[in-house]
Structure 1
């Protein structure tokens, strides 16, 4: 073979075969896709949760404002088996969302105070939602919340409420102003020193301008049945607060709006709107009332009235600030009740329009000297609720105490009901002193004498009839015969079966029977005079059931 042919064969052997382009192109495309996938991935974050209920690896999405921003890639238990560790691969460009204040929670069907939410996950399954972080450093590990966080949009002002009574409200309970939702409870705590439940409340903007230093806050239970001196009251608030309750606030009547408060201002939370209204008065005169009769039916919060006008509020029944050992040493056992008189309720009586406490105290002292006394009065006979009534008494007894055990004492007088009972008892005592046995004996003798008289009249009537039937009598003048006939008819009417005698006899018998039936009642009234008003057997006290 010539050298020329050898060279040609050598060139043919080193020539590139085009079939190798296919795998090279496929390898290049795969490398480019891997690079694109690696470069489009965001950071990997770790979520720590109490459990991974409803979450699936490779399927559960992470969303923010309903936009996909990541996906769950791994779920495992922590080293101590106490938590679930959820690995989430974020999308590219989401690094700025992962700051300290970012929040994550699982969205699934829920029924709560805010209503029904998450119904869309019934078909698609649960997913993880988040609110992007705004402040702090970028983080890669977060705690998964057990429930969705409360809305933080348009927040206005945060205030602190302190409740000394009433049931606890839950986080998320709504705050209303005249029935309109303006905020919510953000946090619930307990102050062990004051033994009070504390609430941190958020009032959204622009309603935060309604909260000034003069407003009052009170609880608004969904359903309430109240019995007081004013009667029975049933109130149903909005359906949102029917089961969980809520809080309302408003400006007391007569108060002027002040500048809006700053964050974390403190207010007292009253149990009801009525209690808030009764506590809007700042200038008060405290008195202790010493009652020597039954105070059952008088409750804290009841009214102190002057001729039907409310001028104060009952505070403590009974009042423990007075030494009971000292009260027990008195001649007449008394029960102390503390109440206050609120002159601001009567500021219309002041011509100057200014309430001066010294002036009001001197005025009340002068009225007491002129016979102003306090007594208990039943305001509602359906539930026997009582109030303290102030009124003038004729010829009142001098006040025994003006100050006792360091307290101002308001003189009292027996209540009206006690006076009625005393009068009834006197009437029954006088009735018991009547000689009923002697009266019954005399009445029996009178009835026997009446029967004897009727028998004599009957015999006389028969004699007259015989006289008229004789021939000699027939010859008497016609006038005399007519007179005798009329006399005979009159005598017959007085007989036992006559028109007058028979009703008289029946009435006498009925009177005797009624007097015999009246004897047991009179005997019972003589032994227990109060049975005319009260039941024969006293009702036992009801034992309240223990709270569940």
Structure 2
């Protein structure tokens, strides 16, 4: 047997016919083959798996966003997740400190399908952790699962994600009070101070909660507090341009003619404060626009009162003590509040070299009623109706006076009243603020009167009066002693008088004596008439007493 490559192959081919009758010899062809070991499949499989992982990661993961927080408390790399509606949309990839070392920068790897609606302007992030506040408890589910980052997405009216793409955000330190996609309307309330209101304080309409306080802060000029409230739909339709808001925080007490009135809200409003609103004009059903500004009043009474219009600033100069007069004290006219004290300052007059107290107040002329509206119509061109109202009143004796409103607390108020005997005063209608003259308070007058009385009492000679009083008492004592000795004699005298009266009574009771007595009385009456005639004659002719009665003249002589 030879191979196909043997040089003796021609000889075997030549001898083939001779061996035709012998057994045929098989022909075998050998080919050289190169085989691959199965071990080389392992890296191939690993490469394919790695490629699939890379492709899968490239398909499913999204971009990295950076969220700035004041602190990274509770956040862990690779464990803390980012959730929207409790669905994981990303994971914390890294945590580092900001370049100025003031904040913590949390880098979050978003999922690719979530990046389109999360990484946009207007999206809000906050750390969800257990919180205990006056308005309630939140985040208890994180006690076991750990903290996570919550997401609130700003949406358009059509429901799509609002805002352009961005990858840097500033996180909130507290969860937002209202979600961006929650239906409702936001309004602004202005107040002198925040009072007892807090984030989440309820907003009521007819004692039913319809919203909450979502934000607050100082106004741009720093003189007021701007409070943002959110009223849920569809209850926001009850907020109109004529709506009035007032504070119902805590327990309100008032003392009136009917006694003590106590008003309380719900337990939530007592603990965390609250706001209530109503419409003065029930016929107005047009809802107010978003971000409409309303004034927050202290009580329902002041909120539902008629509009006061633009106040008139006035000044008062008081020479007496203003202890007990506080900012906000009322200015009363005939017992009705027409203004409030805005400021109390100590001033100095260099001309007379004396100090005085300058009280600034705001008067609300609309509270004067019809007369002010008529003056407004007459002075429409000048806009000086308020000063035109005060001028004639001052001329007729209108003055300001400090009076005590509460004897227990000593609080004072400013009363406007007419004093006909007050000294004349000039009122300048062009001066702003207007200066209203004042008179001393009742307390000062009482002190002056008491001082005068004490001065008179001090001038009384008590020593001389005491000496005379002692002498009088001694004389009275002697007189009483003498009366004790006269007592028995007086009793004897009274007995004799009684006997005499009894005899006279018996004498007058007899008939003979009675007749004689009547005749005697007639004679006495005649004698009296004669004496009266004599007296008249002497009055007419006094010389008759010396010359006698003249003789009658004969007729014809």
TM norm structure 1: 0.62
In structure 2, the partner of 1:63 is: 83
Match of 2:162 among 131, 135, 141: 135
In structure 1, the partner of 2:203 is: 176
1:481-510: CA deviations, max 9, x gaps? x959x99xxxxxxxxxxxxxxxxxxxxxxx
The whole-number CA distance in structure 2 between the counterparts of 1:108 and 1:429 is 77
The whole-number CA distance in structure 1 between the counterparts of 2:162 and 2:391 is 65
The whole-number CA distance in structure 2 between the counterparts of 1:284 and 1:255 is 27
Change (3 A) 1:103 1:5: farther
Is 2:354 the counterpart of 1:325?
no
Deviation at 1:324, TM superposition (A): 4.3
In structure 1, the partner of 2:431 is: 406
SS at match of 2:465: helix
In structure 2, the partner of 1:199 is: 226
8 A contact 2:330–2:341 mirrored in 1 = no
Instruction: Single out whichever of 438-447 and 86-95 deviates more from structure 2.
Output: 86-95
The whole-number CA distance in structure 1 between the counterparts of 2:348 and 2:361 is 18
In structure 2, the partner of 1:42 is: 61
In structure 1, the partner of 2:321 is: 294
Change (3 A) 1:6 1:227: farther
The whole-number CA distance in structure 1 between the counterparts of 2:253 and 2:57 is 66
Deviation at 1:43, TM superposition (A): 1.8
The whole-number CA distance in structure 1 between the counterparts of 2:282 and 2:436 is 30
The whole-number CA distance in structure 2 between the counterparts of 1:304 and 1:286 is 12
Instruction: Single out whichever of 97-106 and 22-31 deviates more from structure 2.
Output: 22-31
SS at match of 2:349: helix
8 A contact 1:47–1:144 mirrored in 2 = no
8 A contact 1:374–1:410 mirrored in 2 = yes
8 A contact 1:173–1:246 mirrored in 2 = no
User: Structure 1: where are the runs of 5+ without partners?
Assistant: 465-479, 488-548
In structure 1, the partner of 2:334 is: 307
In structure 2, the partner of 1:377 is: 403
The whole-number CA distance in structure 2 between the counterparts of 1:401 and 1:124 is 79
Is 2:362 the counterpart of 1:337?
no
8 A contact 2:395–2:425 mirrored in 1 = no
Deviation at 1:122, TM superposition (A): 0.7
Deviation at 1:378, TM superposition (A): 1.9
SS at match of 1:417: helix
8 A contact 2:189–2:229 mirrored in 1 = no
In structure 2, the partner of 1:111 is: 132
Match of 2:217 among 188, 196, 209: 188
The whole-number CA distance in structure 2 between the counterparts of 1:254 and 1:440 is 77
Rg comparison, structure with higher value: 2
8 A contact 1:222–1:245 mirrored in 2 = yes
Match of 1:148 among 172, 175, 179: 175
Change (3 A) 1:399 1:261: farther
Change (3 A) 1:384 1:149: same
8 A contact 1:162–1:196 mirrored in 2 = no
Change (3 A) 1:287 1:444: same
Deviation at 1:346, TM superposition (A): 4.2
Deviation at 1:120, TM superposition (A): 0.6
In structure 2, the partner of 1:126 is: 147
- Of structures 1 and 2, the one with the larger relative CO (CA 8 A, separation 6+) is 1
- Alignment size in residue pairs: 453
Deviation at 1:96, TM superposition (A): 2.2
The whole-number CA distance in structure 2 between the counterparts of 1:76 and 1:5 is 80
TM norm structure 2: 0.61
Is 2:464 the counterpart of 1:435?
no
